[in-house]
């Protein structure tokens, strides 16, 4: 069962995703507001007119009744005080409004000090205290005129007050003096009329609201249907169906929009085809050039190796030229290999050779192959790996290349400071973090670090002589595995690269991992990390003086791809 929060979220999502709903609801709300405002004004005017008419009729009727009562009081025998109350009651009964709900009352006026007294005369079902005090006071100040007031009065056994017109006038009774006559005219008829008008207003407002909703539905359908069709066609074009177009049936604004959309789609389709053609030509050119260069490169390498081997027989300038030629040939061949790899990615021809392999062993294999670089840079490697195998589905050649690029990059930019390598296990993925403490990266540089041939400082003397394609290829390798390659850094504090790979290829990393924690150090995950110290002896040594196998693997990283996986290093072993 959905919670209220989920229900509210669904309503909000529906509101945001439906143009028709927003138009209909907004139209009905505005229609309700306008209808309520107009109805209130009209109802107030009708009610005011009915009250005005009721007051006019009550005033006229009361004036006639008061004149009749005064004539009857003037005809009373002035010498008989015993029948004064009975006579007054009879007169009041005669002037009571003919309507069954009408009432009349006779009350002694304010300031009347006559000795002869007439008791207050009023029906038993009417409380004279309901008469507002303002009426007797007004009659005392102006006894010659009627005083009128509209107020709510309870009559009979009813507990509900009914709006009534109370008309007060003063009469002079012989020997008893001035008394106030109050005639109450309930506005039952007017109230019934107002109730009927209110009901019709409510029904009319509801009908008008439904009509406004229907108009909003029709209007929104006329707009939402073409817009929805345009959205579907846009989605189909985004999925690669570039031949989809909007139908044009007329010449109104929406049809003009459809014509403009179709024109734009034609232009985009033409440009995309041109770009596809250009991209295919470019990819073919890079691939063909790379392949064609391998044959002359092999010949040049053979000649360069011969010159390099005989450099001691040459004069010093010629010998130095032979050494430079030999070193640049290695870099040229590496660049050629990486260009071929990038052309495979660009053409979509790259594929994986998946096996279930121990990632810990692969990391240690890469560390062993980079031992020469560790000694050359003087950086200390702090390796924090699990004590058990971590088996994942991967292409060992590509993952080894990613790790080699990340660790070599950390050593090259580490400025001799420690480089930390951490392997973190998760439920469905693993993460390898390489953290250095060298020159670091700014946010702008971190956004460009995976671009091809990009360097933070082109004039800087790099240790590994990289081509500028290593990190770009590493990013493509990570994506090909269904993982992520991330970076974070700070100028002067170093940089941290994190490789996230799924454990199984049938369950890729669905949710992108969070940002790389920086500058905080990753916490040790498996106890004390292994410290791989550089060997002081070959520090800053000339690569020419290294043993043949180590120098070859340092100069040509491609040899590592075909090398057998060595035994895993234990936590107590140091760098070779």
pLDDT digits (tens, 9 = 90+) for 458-494: 555 444 545 677 888 888 888 888 889 999 888 888 8
Q: What is the pLDDT of residue 575?
A: 29
Q: What is the pLDDT of residue 520?
A: 55
* Rounded CA separation 424/443 (Å): 25
Residue 418 tokens read as 């420690």
Q: Which residues of the chain carry a pLDDT beneath 70?
A: 1-9, 77-82, 98-101, 283, 286-287, 290-291, 343-350, 456-467, 519-576
Q: Taking the CA atoms of 92, 94, 98 and 99 in sequence, report the sign of the dihedral they define.
A: positive
* Rounded CA separation 202/423 (Å): 72
Looking only at the bridges linking them, the beta strands covering 429-435 and 419-425 are antiparallel
* Rounded CA separation 364/382 (Å): 12
User: Half-sphere exposure of residue 527, counting CA atoms within 13 Å on the CB side?
Assistant: 5
Q: Which helix (H) or strand (E) holds 424?
A: strand 419-425
* Rounded CA separation 124/221 (Å): 67
Q: Which helix (H) or strand (E) holds 538?
A: none
pLDDT digits (tens, 9 = 90+) for 292-341: 777 787 888 788 888 888 888 888 888 888 888 887 777 777 777 777 77
**379 contact partners, CB below 8 Å, separation of at least 6:** 410, 411, 414, 416, 417, 418, 419, 436, 534
* Rounded CA separation 270/187 (Å): 81
What radius of gyration do the chain's Cα atoms show? 51
Which among 503, 501, 504 is positioned nearest to 513, based on CA atoms? 501
- The answer to whether the CB of 576 falls within 8 A of the CB of 371 is yes
Q: What is the pLDDT of residue 456?
A: 63
Which among 372, 386, 401 is positioned nearest to 548, based on CA atoms? 372
Q: What is the pLDDT of residue 521?
A: 57
Q: What is the pLDDT of residue 459?
A: 52
Q: What is the pLDDT of residue 225?
A: 79
Q: What is the pLDDT of residue 559?
A: 34
pLDDT digits (tens, 9 = 90+) for 32-64: 888 888 888 988 898 889 899 989 988 998 898
Q: What is the pLDDT of residue 458?
A: 54
State phi, psi for 487 to the nearest 5 degrees: -145, 150
Q: Helix (H) and strand (E) counts for the chain? A: 14, 12
Q: Which helix (H) or strand (E) holds 185?
A: strand 177-186
């Amino acid at each position: 069962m959905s919670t209220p929060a989920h229900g509210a979220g669904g309503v909000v999502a529906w509101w945001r995703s439906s143009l028709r709903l927003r138009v209909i609801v907004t139209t009905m709300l505005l229609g309700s507001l306008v209808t309520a405002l107009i109805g209130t004004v009209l109802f107030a005017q009708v009610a005011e007119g009915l009250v005005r008419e009721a007051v006019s009729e009550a005033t006229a009727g009361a004036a006639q009744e008061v004149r009749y009562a005064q004539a009857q009081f003037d005809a009373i025998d002035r010498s008989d005080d015993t029948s004064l109350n009975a006579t007054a009651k009879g007169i009041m009964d005669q002037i009571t409004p003919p309507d069954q709900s009408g009432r009349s009352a006779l009350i002694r006026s304010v300031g009347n000090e006559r000795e002869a007294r007439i008791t207050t005369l009023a029906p038993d079902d009417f409380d004279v205290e309901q008469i507002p005090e303002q009426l007797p006071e007004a009659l005392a100040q102006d006894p010659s005129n009627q005083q009128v007031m509209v107020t709510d009065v309870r009559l009979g056994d009813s507990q509900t007050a009914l709006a009534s017109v109370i008309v007060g006038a003063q009469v002079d009774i012989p020997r008893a003096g001035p008394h106030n006559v109050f005639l109450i005219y309930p506005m039952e008829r007017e109230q019934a009329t107002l109730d009927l008008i209110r009901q019709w207003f409510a029904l009319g407002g509801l009908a008008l609201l439904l009509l406004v909703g229907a108009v909003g539905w029709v209007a929104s359908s006329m707009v939402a249907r073409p817009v929805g069709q345009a959205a579907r066609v846009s989605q189909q074009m985004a999925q690669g169906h570039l031949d989809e177009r909007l139908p044009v049936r007329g010449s109104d604004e929406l049809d003009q929009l459809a014509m403009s959309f179709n024109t734009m789609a034609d232009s985009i389709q033409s440009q995309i085809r041109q770009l596809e053609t250009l991209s295919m030509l470019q990819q073919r050119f890079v691939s063909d050039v790379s392949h064609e260069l391998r044959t002359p490169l092999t010949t040049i390498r053979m000649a360069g190796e011969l010159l390099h081997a005989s450099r001691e027989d040459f004069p010093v300038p010629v010998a130095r030229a032979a050494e430079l030629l030999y070193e640049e040939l290695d870099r040229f061949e590496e660049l050629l290999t990486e260009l071929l790899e990038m052309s495979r990615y660009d053409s979509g021809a790259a594929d994986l050779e998946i096996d279930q392999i121990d990632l810990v062993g692969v990391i240690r294999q890469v560390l062993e192959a980079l031992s020469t670089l560790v000694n050359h840079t003087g950086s200390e490697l702090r390796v924090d790996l699990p004590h058990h195998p971590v088996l994942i589905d991967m292409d060992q050649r590509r993952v080894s290349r990613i790790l080699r690029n990340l660790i070599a990059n950390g050593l090259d930019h580490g400025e001799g400071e420690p480089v930390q390598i951490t392997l973190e296990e998760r439920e469905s993925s693993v993460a390898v973090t390489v953290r250095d403490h060298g020159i670091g990266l700014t946010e702008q540089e971190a956004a460009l670090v995976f671009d091809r041939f990009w360097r933070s400082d082109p004039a800087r003397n790099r240790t590994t002589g990289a081509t500028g394609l290593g990190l770009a290829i590493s990013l493509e390798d990570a994506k090909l595995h269904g993982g992520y390659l991330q970076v974070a850094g700070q100028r002067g504090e170093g940089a941290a690269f994190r490789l996230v790979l799924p454990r199984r290829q049938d369950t890729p990393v669905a949710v992108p991992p969070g940002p790389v924690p920086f500058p905080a150090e990753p916490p040790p995950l498996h106890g004390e990390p292994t410290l791989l110290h550089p060997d002081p002896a070959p520090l800053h040594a000339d690569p020419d003086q290294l043993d043949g196998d180590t120098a070859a693997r340092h100069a040509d990283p491609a040899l590592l791809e075909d090398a057998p996986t060595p035994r895993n290093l234990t936590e107590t072993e140091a760098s070779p």
